[in-house]
A and B are shown apart, each in its own frame.
Chain A
């Protein structure tokens, strides 16, 4: 143990711009770069290319391709796969071509996009709260979107659900209410969850009240949507959805590196140079927008936002916040559930019911299984 030098001893005075070197350069053989990545460097630029993430993403894309193929060819009305294929290629009879190209295919594409949006939204909210149960389902965003869309059918005579853009509006309203009640977007953890559950319940009750006042025809149509359904969704909603994702997904990807740091507590994150309140606010806004749009189009499809990031973390490993992974898993989950619901029974089962049936056991697994080190 060496006693400290006297304070008036001449101290080394490094220049202002370059921080002093750490004592000793260290062992050059020590490997410190991320083991799962290849380092690409040119000049002062450098990138990390993560192998595992790349492989898993390719695998998921392959799975999605298989699901899309099956969904395109599978039929609930006895159309053979060969007929479906001819319909897809445009060589079949007109009715078949129309059925496959204008009904089935758009619905699959919309399902993929809705699933991707839900997956990323869940990934963002889970990272924000540091809790795997903090999904848009649970913190009121989905109920807000649902409530807005359901409210829009009041007095309408058609059984059709209102405009999809009411989804993000309702989601934003509910999110604002939750943040306000929880005391700011900077609040982490249980407070947002508890307030969110409360707000969800209230909005859900209002939605139910509105539904119960409609005639059977309207209520039936709305009900189908309000459990989560892609029935009848085509490129009319697919185009705005794709445009929104084109803007929002890159934003989520840019936030990705900072989201990694947000998994520390706020003090560490701020000390590492993060503007924590700003990042939290923007991330929440992004999650609300994505979830709101998805719900506005596909209805509140349950459990996808919970399951996709959890599965993605398992596949991609815990090193990073899996934004792309959550999108791919979400897309696969919704597309697969939708085709399952279409072919498994004589009368179509809404995609939201399928995800609910599969999601319950999954939720239990998250709560009681998985990695016990993390508080759920």
Chain B
């Protein structure tokens, strides 16, 4: 059996629901279906308020949906205990806050928390996972430094290391590059590809359509709580989609190296009234 991430008929809104409860006043995700194979990078794109963050939070067991299921490896994560779910799905929120004065190694060690207990405080597995995560993200040299004394790009790689140390099949990232300059953003996205190559599934919410198109195997485009397009970037991302999502006329070019779509908004085009 392959460990797939399957989202079925997911509906979520505000205020967050109780299972089988009444439909909420505002429905942010209106019946989403997704099947994501292991080893894929999936980018959820769409305008602000399209429900992509709510979808990600429902997949991370942070926002209780009203209907539908999110299953990883055949089990609905909303029927698992929080800790059991944390063995399967990890999340890097948009602007996470760490305990005061934590070191990089200290932060990454917290990634092992769901695997630890009163009689299992620091196993060889923990040691191996933390070491591997520090090395994979290139922050091993910073291990003893304090997190709050690092630059934004370094910090984001440290957070990524913490999430990797959790060693879950599914890794969720909420706008992992939104606060980073181009160089650091590329660094993080390259890392994301490596994680997927190792066999994990990465689902991320991304604003920049061009980098989403370049780094994701699958683009999931959302508008008004519904998926309007899904598939490989070269098939999905075109001028019509950009217009439909953002109401902005744009040219979609092919990157010289590999032909992946590059979105160039037309100057003076302005927003349609829709």
B is bound to A: yes
User: Are A45's CB and B119's CB within 8 A?
Assistant: yes
B102 to chain A minimum Cβ distance, whole angstroms, is: 8
Question: Which of A37, A39, A264 has most chain B Cβ within 10 Å?
Answer: A264
Q: Mark A224-265, 1 if CB is under 8 A from B, else 0.
A: 000000000000000000000000000000100100110111
- State whether A264 touches B96 (Cβ < 8 A): yes
Q: A16 within 8 Å of B by Cβ?
A: yes
B229 at the interface (CB under 8 A from A): no
On whether the beta carbons of A373 and B134 are closer than 8 Å, the reply is no
The answer on a CB contact under 8 Å between B93 and A265 is yes
B167 at the interface (CB under 8 A from A): yes
Contact with A along B219-242 (1 / 0, CB 8 A): 000000000000010000000000
Give Cα A254–Cα B117 distance, bound, in whole angstroms.
10
Chain B interface residue count, Cβ-Cβ cutoff 8 angstroms? 85
Residue B101 is within 8 A (CB to CB) of chain A in the complex: yes
A272 with B114: CB separation less than 8 A: yes
Inter-chain contact B99/A263, CB cutoff 8 Å: yes
**Contact present for A39 and B122 (CB under 8 Å):** yes
Q: A2, A273, A318: which has the most chain B beta carbons within 10 Å?
A: A273
Question: A155 at the A/B interface (Cβ < 8 Å)?
Answer: no
Segment of B7-15, B18-26, B27-35, B193-201 in the binding face: B193-201
Expressed in whole angstroms, the minimum distance between the Cβ of B228 and any Cβ of chain A is 19
- A194 to chain B minimum Cβ distance, whole angstroms, is 21
The stretch from B82-90, B245-253, B265-273 touching chain A is B82-90
Please state if B109 and A34 are interface contacts (CB–CB under 8 Å). yes
Tell me whether A46 and B123 are in contact (CB under 8 A). Answer: yes
Is the C-beta of B120 less than 8 angstroms from some C-beta in chain A? yes
Query: Residue on B with the closest CB to A321?
Result: B99
Contact status B217-A5, CB under 8 Å: yes
Asked, given contacts A12-B199, A267-B91, whether A41 binds B123 with beta carbons under 8 Å apart, the answer is yes
Asked if A28 is at the interface (CB within 8 A of a chain B CB), the reply is: yes
For residue B40, CB closer than 8 A to chain A, the reply is yes
* Interface 1/0 per residue, B132-154 and A, CB below 8 Å: 11111000100110001000000
Q: Are B99 and A264 in contact (CB under 8 A)?
A: yes
Q: Which residues of A contact B85 (CB under 8 A)?
A: 273
Does B264 belong to the interface (CB within 8 Å)? no
- Tell whether, in the assembled complex, residue B122 and residue A22 are in contact, meaning their CB atoms are under 8 Å apart: no
Minimum C-beta distance from B204 to chain A (A): 13
A364 surroundings in chain B (CB, below 8 A): none
A24 contacts B260, C-beta separation under 8 Å: no
Q: Which of A11, A44, A272 contacts B111 (CB 8 A)?
A: A272
Residue on B nearest A42 in the bound complex, by CB: B119
Pair B131/A26 contact, Cβ less than 8 Å = yes
Would you call A16 and B73 a contact (CB within 8 A)?
A: yes
Q: Which residues of B contact A14 (CB under 8 A)?
A: 3, 38, 169, 199
One digit per residue, 1 when the CB lies within 8 angstroms of any chain A CB and 0 when it does not, for chain B 167-200 equals 1110000000000000000100010011101111
* Complex interface bits, A129-146 against B, C-beta within 8 A gives 1, otherwise 0: 000000000000000000
B67 in contact (CB, < 8 A): no
B36 to chain A, nearest CB (A): 10
| Interface flag for B113 (CB, 8 Å) | yes
Choose one: A6, A22, A32, A272; the contact of B113 (CB below 8 Å). Answer: A272
CB pair A273–B82 under 8 Å, yes or no, is: yes
A5 to B132: give the CA distance in the assembly, Å: 24
- Interface positions of A (Cβ within 8 A of B): 1-7, 11-16, 19-28, 30-35, 37, 39, 41, 44-48, 254, 257, 260-261, 263-265, 267-268, 270-275, 318-319, 371, 373-374
Known: A25-B128, A26-B140. 19 other contacts (CB 8 A): A5-B217, A13-B2, A14-B199, A19-B87, A24-B135, A26-B131, A30-B143, A32-B105, A32-B134, A34-B109, A263-B99, A265-B97, A267-B62, A267-B96, A272-B111, A272-B114, A272-B166, A273-B113, A274-B82
Can you report 14 A-B residue pairs in the complex whose CB atoms are below 8 A from each other? Answer: A2-B193, A3-B214, A4-B214, A16-B73, A24-B132, A26-B133, A30-B140, A35-B144, A46-B121, A254-B118, A263-B99, A273-B113, A275-B83, A318-B99
Spell out B's residues near A (CB within 8 Å). 1-3, 37-41, 60-62, 73-74, 81-87, 89-91, 93, 96-102, 105-106, 108-111, 113-114, 116, 118-124, 126-136, 140, 143-144, 148, 164, 166-169, 186, 190, 193-195, 197-200, 214-218, 232, 257-258, 260
